[in-house]
Structure 1
Amino acid sequence: MPLNGTNHSKLVLDDAPFFKTLAEFDEWADRMPQELSGVLPYRARRQSSPGSSSQGKLLLCHDYKGGYTESPSARSYTFNFWSFSHHRVTIPPSGWTTASHRQGVKMLGTILKFCVPMIVNISIFEGQDAEDCLRLLVGRLPQSKTGPLQTPAQRTIPVSSHYAKRLAQLARQRGFDGYLLNFECPLQGNIEQTRALSTWIALLEYELKREVGPHSEVIWYDSVIVDGRLRWQDRLNSVNLPFFLPSTGFFTNYTWPREFPSLTAQYFLSIDSQHLARSPPKTLQDIYVGVDVWGRGSHGGGGFGAYKAMDHIDPKFLGLSVALFGQAWSWETEQDKEGFTWETWWAHERKLWLGPVGPNDIVQIPEPPPGQPVCEHGPYTPVTSFFTRKPPPDPLDLTFYTSFSPGVGTAWFVEGAKVMDATASGWTDLHKTTSIGDLAWPHPAISSELGDWEETPPSVSPGICMYDAWMGGSSLRLDVTLPPSDDDSFHLIWIPIQSLSVTSQQSYDVNLVYKVPPHGPAEVDMGLSVKLFDDCDEEVEDVDVTSLPVEDRPSIGGWTHLAVRICVKSDTPRQTVAVGLIAGIAQEESSSNAKPLSLYLGQLTAFPSPPSDLSAISVPQLLWADYQMHDGAGVLTWDVAQSLPPIHGLSLTSLEDPQPAWVIDTNNRNFLYFNIYVQDGEASSESARASWFVGTSGLDGRGQRFFVDPACLPAQVGTSKKLRFTIEGVTDRGERLSRDRCVFVDVEHPT
């Protein structure tokens, strides 16, 4: 994805996105396929700020009306963090998992129980919902007649690890990081069943650690209490504590009065430390206080009043975390209004998260809900202001790549050339979501490289451009407005774009592709630089920045490449740096109505510097491609490899020579995705074959596979009896493979 055409088959999407019953889950799990190779594994962010370890976290819990029905051929609501749907077991779409892992954020699935309350004994439940409430604990039931050899003297509910194991295996197979447990149903087994449930939670947590890794999560939602009744507490207390202790986190309901967050913190601090000493020990950060953006009984009334609830949670100072529930409010409340577009939603979304763009951008704060006590709060505070900025994983752990994509677009570009015009509705693919430049929004904190501003400083406004891009569907547009001047003037402006966490004394290469449209209002000279984030408007001597030569290649559409090598000289193991532009702008005499200067950023990458010996650097390639018919369509598969440049002889001087005969760079390049093209296989020669874009890999979570939906094939090859498919790789350093490293496959095409 994106895919050419419209009305695509569901086979282009993830397999089995949810299970309505545990029996349905068992049937699928009996033939559980291999792990999805196209889902990016989780890499933790490295902590560079000592104080941030005691500050609260943010958990996004998405409740979208009607579930997730976004089409590959329409621009939809997108985000990078959390999913929530009303099925028994819900699996995050693979593209969402990759998008969140790219930023060092965990992605969780959900296990939900909405049981029908019935008066029955502890061993018999009626109805599918009630049956699954018990079945989760006792495991899969046999088909044969069976029973104990001797009736136990005291009968309690046995707890099986069957579903704990299978759910952990499911998380590993799909590449996500754990589960939210939402048991909004009375447990008719009362204390006996709730004790069994807490035991099962511990089993699930153990199996997830074993299958997924020590970073996995099991978060309990505030619902049933110790006697089995469904009683939301809106805080942590003694009647829900037994469910929190075997979990890794606790998510409170969102209808709490203003004093409950502090009561929760006080209660947590009163718990005997021996009960919290599991590895890792629990902290206040593991308690996520619920806030409903829809305002259903939530303090502040939701929407742009949700900040009032977060004021009381106080994640930066009190240390509690926030669980933001239903943040697609920004889309769902706007989508049916006249004139709604993706762009109008994006402005609405930005205001919620980043605040107004200027003094004339009014924030409509809702009135307090009826009956809620008066509570004084300051002016609107955007969501991001409550949390410390956290850069993506260190490029030493995960190559940093961005094409400044929010996961939607109206076209697709390959090295500046438009290869696909989408339908009027555009496309959506969370797999293609990358950072949009975290330091650029809502406005970058610019500074002058020439000292203090003499008069009014310039202003820089960011935007997402979907009509011109380098790789993918969009670029970051920066509109620079210069102050009016009676004379010619020169500005040298530092514009921070992206934060990165880096390891001190480690060398990194940073590459940027940018564009300055010709015939602009001023002459521009662009440079790429890196500064310490905490000191990014000061002259910094702790970062060595060296310009690197770039390959001289023909430019499509005026795009230009810059590259630098950086190294932070510091005794502190890790630092946060800001990657940005230094723009030299020569301004002629101008008036107050002069047009802004537009800069376009197409791609930014950062990775460990390769060795100086080029023969040590392996180069990725595709080996072969295959095509198999499948349900009237087809499936493309391929394999990838690495190859080394040739060497000319060995330089060993003796058997005791301490220098190795060769060295190998271990920082291999991986693939982001693959572009798929098709040609008329009946064309008379290679030069006569026009190549048509079909789509990209990634939508279904499979790394080296593409489902060829007939709807993706362009009309120009519709009557051809033979087709040639070409697979072209794009690496995580933003490199498009050359033709000698790509492959084709010829197929018979039934018409």
Structure 2
Amino acid sequence: MPIAGNKEPPPTQPLYFKSLKELDTWLPGRLGRHYDGLLKYSPRSQKPAVDGLANGKLLVCHDYKGGYTESLFSRSYTFNFWSTCDTFVYFSHHRVTIPPPGWITAAHRQGVKILGTLIFEGDRLGGEDCLRLIIGKMPRSTTGQVGKATSSVTLPLSPHYARVLAELAKERGFDGYLLNVECPLAGGAEQTRALAAWITILHSEILEKVGPHGQTIWYDSVVITGQLAWQDRLNGYNLPFFLSSTGLFSNYTWRNDYPALTKKYFTSLDQSLIGNTPGSQSQIAPKKIQDIYMGVDVWGRGSHGGGGFGCYKALTHIAPDSLGLSAALFGQAWTWESEQDKPGWTWDKWWEYESKLWVGPVTGTVEVPPAPRKKGEPECLHGPFLPITSFFPRSPPPDPAHIRFHTTFCPGTGLCWFVEGVKVYQSEKGWTDVDKQTSIGDMLWPRPMLYWDDHREDVIPTALSTFCMDDAWNGGNSLRISISCPESDDELAAYRTIWLPIQSLSLTPQGHYHASVVYKLDVNLPEDVHTEIALALKPSSMSSPDSPHHTFHLTSTTTTELSRGWNKIDIQFTLESSSPNPPTIARLETFEIALVIAILMESEEPTKKSFGFSLLVGQLNVSASLPRSFTEEDAMVLWADYTPESTAVERAGGRPRGTLSWEVAASFPHVPTMSVASPEDPLSAWNIQPTIAWFPSFLYFNIYAQPFIDQWNIGAVEQATWIGTSGWDGQRFGFDVLPENLPFEAEPNRKVRFYIQGVTDHGEILKWERCAFVDVAM
């Protein structure tokens, strides 16, 4: 969010289920309000294989303090390195773990799949529920089989829970499950065979209800005999579970030769078994080496390299780029949990620690403590520390033509909230709302890389990126880019332009796009140095070397002065390719590019001394661009309403609670004089709307409140107080009002006016005349 106050409204849906019996109380569409504000999954563009071998993928398994710990009223761990992550698992020790709505939207915004967890632990309760998983829900009436059971009849297999779990994933907006059976199965091989068959049913249900991207990942736990025996790799004892699911997440206590043994075992499998032959029809999709995720525990519990900053040692053996194996990182919030109780700990110190693990230090080296070698483990030598992201290719978010790209560089937590440069909220303890998390600029960490726009040989200026939590355009923060320029005697130094790459993007050739950036100079330059800022595009170094050449045609650019020193640059551009086979609707290729800020520095003579300045980047947006005739509509909030709780007075000690709701709309200019004179005129009477998605879409809504002065009068809307934003709880057009969170004391029977202000997915704040209000007697 955040929201004002200090009390979080109760959830509108169950956060998790403690047992399968409890899950049976849930019915699709009948329990509570729907999570209709979640962003749907849209895939990233696929990277071509290099030398016939695709790079291994990264799965991140988020096991953090038992789950569901994020608070609207304090700062908490958030994950921000989505560009190297393919799948994210929200993990807890409840029977059925459902990812919170904010995490789902944050993952999907980056093109990352997010899974819940189905877990069975403990000898008795876990085993009983795992048996129930297979045989299904039990009836309440007296029932039985007509015929007598024979010795040939094995454990019956019911699809009941496969259907229910797939329906749950569909309704709650996530993409599948991690399956973790960490309890022995008393039924032995008979039960494990039925369990493996049940997984195939679940997977089919997930594909049907969630989509072709749905996943069911099996955690290396019980084996074919029903014993709980972690194998730490793929082998014959867990092969049936791998073949029945999307992939295998191995346990993390493997020896350093196990990744190579896993690769060797996989390549020895009969190709028809893994669906890699023309006649094989046993697999929906052929199994690949990338479907094996070798576990790495960041806490270091038996993990090669000792976890923490030694994780790179395990990743070196997994070798995603050469062996093609994938990695599953478990407990990555170690950076927060292991440090938070130390003296002097702050969020900024955590971010330094976190980013060091993922992208490396800003300067210097990282000391890695030695880790003991396991018994029987071959000796191995490792070089200096390597960050996690160095093992995996960086993937841009989905094409902005499919999901409009918007970022305020928010890490999902902050101290303040801003609306068009105005600070409307400040919290001493801070807030966490993963729903508001956006890309932090995937080309800016651990520090930005600057480039000259020509071939000069001057020393390139250096830059440093930091979060600015006390000044922003919209949202919780901006990004401060501090640039240090060395002195130069070169005659050309009086006029020089540097490129600052901010964000990688995946764009479609021949596509028309619109991009904008909101920025302001934070520290002024010397008087004799003048600057101009521009927004531009450059080919990304991430593109494949044999990609066809592509060029950018800038069709328009405008600069607008905003309030409080902020400025906005808008550009329209087209990406063109010289490929001999231009893209068609049936075959659309995408190319990776870098969105950069160009900084022109001009002085009357070369700079004789070094100088520095900084830039605040507040917002970045990219979307498909349509001709003006197709974008004549104006977004608006049509109406607002308030529904009190049925037991609100009792629950709030005499002060009613309730829910705000609203509807959005679009309006058009007046129809001009129609020029259609006859039925045969080949003209449209007005500018039509495109058949692609065009209706206004919103990121979230700012909510304001204002008490009436007396029974009839109220002040100007500019005097209203911001009380929160929508979206954190999965509601699309809803906001729960708790009177105790209001920043003022409403007099009995005195009305309060609530305002709903939309923020579109172009990053635009609706003007007040396009917003709605509702009056409520408090």
TM-score range (shorter-chain normalised) is over 0.9
**Correspondent of 1:478 among 478, 481, 496:** 481
* Cα distance in 1 between the residues matched to 2:550 and 2:718: 55
What's the counterpart of residue 42 of structure 2?
43
Task: Spell out, residue by residue over 1:441-479, the C-alpha distance to the aligned partner (whole angstroms, 9 max, x if none).
Answer: 11223211132232x220011111111111100111100
- Contact in 1 for aligned 2:72/2:433 (Cα 8 Å): yes
Residues 1:67 and 1:613: Cα distance change in structure 2 (over 3 Å): closer
Structure 2 counterpart of 1:585, one-letter code: M
Task: Spell out, residue by residue over 1:584-640, the C-alpha distance to the aligned partner (whole angstroms, 9 max, x if none).
Answer: 124688787x663110111111111121326x5332221111111123321111111
**Correspondent of 1:174 among 158, 165, 172:** 172
Shift of 1:369: 5.0
Shift of 1:42: 0.2
Task: Spell out, residue by residue over 1:266-319, the C-alpha distance to the aligned partner (whole angstroms, 9 max, x if none).
Answer: 211222222222222111111111011111111111111110110011111211
What's the counterpart of residue 460 of structure 1?
463
* Map 1:141-160 → 2, pairs under 5 A: 141-154=138-151, 155-160=153-158
Question: Do residues 671 (structure 1) and 709 (structure 2) align?
Answer: no
What's the counterpart of residue 119 of structure 1?
none
Using structure 1 for the length normalisation, give the TM-score: 0.93
* Map 1:106-185 → 2, pairs under 5 A: 106-116=113-123, 127-154=124-151, 155-185=153-183
What's the counterpart of residue 213 of structure 2?
215
Shift of 1:659: 3.8
Shift of 1:520: 3.7
* Cα distance in 2 between the residues matched to 1:717 and 1:461: 47
Structure 2 counterpart of 1:41, one-letter code: K
What's the counterpart of residue 590 of structure 2?
574
What's the counterpart of residue 351 of structure 2?
346
* Map 1:612-691 → 2, pairs under 5 A: 612-613=628-629, 616-630=631-645, 631=648, 632=652, 633-652=657-676, 654-661=678-685, 662-665=687-690, 666-668=692-694, 669-683=696-710, 684-687=713-716, 690-691=719-720
**Correspondent of 2:273 among 275, 280, 292:** 275
- Contact in 1 for aligned 2:524/2:613 (Cα 8 Å): no
* Cα distance in 1 between the residues matched to 2:47 and 2:764: 30
Shift of 1:644: 2.3
- Contact in 2 for aligned 1:90/1:109 (Cα 8 Å): yes
What's the counterpart of residue 205 of structure 1?
203
Structure 1 counterpart of 2:697, one-letter code: N
**Correspondent of 1:469 among 472, 478, 496:** 472
* Cα distance in 2 between the residues matched to 1:384 and 1:14: 37
**Correspondent of 2:568 among 541, 561, 570:** 561
Shift of 1:732: 0.6
Which structure 2 residue ranges, 5 or more long, are not aligned?
Answer: 81-87, 276-282, 583-588
- SS of residue paired to 2:385: coil
What's the counterpart of residue 3 of structure 1?
3
What's the counterpart of residue 100 of structure 1?
107
Structure 2 counterpart of 1:242, one-letter code: P
Structure 2 counterpart of 1:564, one-letter code: I
Residues 1:679 and 1:485: Cα distance change in structure 2 (over 3 Å): same
* Cα distance in 1 between the residues matched to 2:486 and 2:32: 61
* Map 1:140-539 → 2, pairs under 5 A: 140-154=137-151, 155-277=153-275, 278-359=283-364, 361-369=365-373, 371=375, 373-422=378-427, 424-454=428-458, 456-485=459-488, 489-517=494-522, 519-521=524-526, 522-534=529-541
What's the counterpart of residue 122 of structure 1?
none
- Contact in 1 for aligned 2:514/2:625 (Cα 8 Å): yes
* Cα distance in 1 between the residues matched to 2:179 and 2:732: 30
* Cα distance in 1 between the residues matched to 2:768 and 2:701: 13
Shift of 1:15: 2.5
Structure 2 counterpart of 1:548, one-letter code: T
**Correspondent of 1:734 among 748, 751, 763:** 763
- Contact in 2 for aligned 1:475/1:600 (Cα 8 Å): yes
Task: Spell out, residue by residue over 1:572-594, the C-alpha distance to the aligned partner (whole angstroms, 9 max, x if none).
Answer: 632111001110124688787x6
Structure 2 counterpart of 1:64, one-letter code: Y
Residues 1:528 and 1:128: Cα distance change in structure 2 (over 3 Å): same
* Cα distance in 1 between the residues matched to 2:747 and 2:429: 24
Shift of 1:29: 3.0
- Contact in 1 for aligned 2:523/2:613 (Cα 8 Å): no
Shift of 1:53: 7.4
- SS of residue paired to 1:641: strand
Task: Report the number of matched residues.
Answer: 728
- SS of residue paired to 1:640: strand
* Cα distance in 1 between the residues matched to 2:508 and 2:443: 20
Which structure 1 residue ranges, 5 or more long, are not aligned?
Answer: 117-126
Shift of 1:263: 1.2
Give the root-mean-square deviation of aligned CA atoms.
2.2
- Contact in 2 for aligned 1:304/1:366 (Cα 8 Å): no
Structure 2 counterpart of 1:706, one-letter code: F
* Cα distance in 2 between the residues matched to 1:591 and 1:175: 58
Using structure 2 for the length normalisation, give the TM-score: 0.90
Structure 2 counterpart of 1:208, one-letter code: I
Runs of 4+ in 1 over 4 A off after TM superposition: 369-373, 485-488, 587-592, 716-720
Shift of 1:235: 0.6
* Cα distance in 1 between the residues matched to 2:747 and 2:220: 56
Shift of 1:262: 1.2
* Cα distance in 2 between the residues matched to 1:211 and 1:333: 39
Task: Spell out, residue by residue over 1:57-114, the C-alpha distance to the aligned partner (whole angstroms, 9 max, x if none).
Answer: 1000112134331211111100163311111000001100000000000000000000
* Cα distance in 1 between the residues matched to 2:273 and 2:772: 58
Structure 1 counterpart of 2:727, one-letter code: G
Task: Spell out, residue by residue over 1:325-379, the C-alpha distance to the aligned partner (whole angstroms, 9 max, x if none).
Answer: 11111111110110101100000000000011112x5433443356565310111
* Cα distance in 1 between the residues matched to 2:291 and 2:12: 31
- Contact in 2 for aligned 1:727/1:744 (Cα 8 Å): yes
What's the counterpart of residue 278 of structure 2?
none
Shift of 1:643: 2.3
* Cα distance in 1 between the residues matched to 2:451 and 2:481: 15
Residues 1:151 and 1:390: Cα distance change in structure 2 (over 3 Å): same
Structure 1 counterpart of 2:558, one-letter code: P
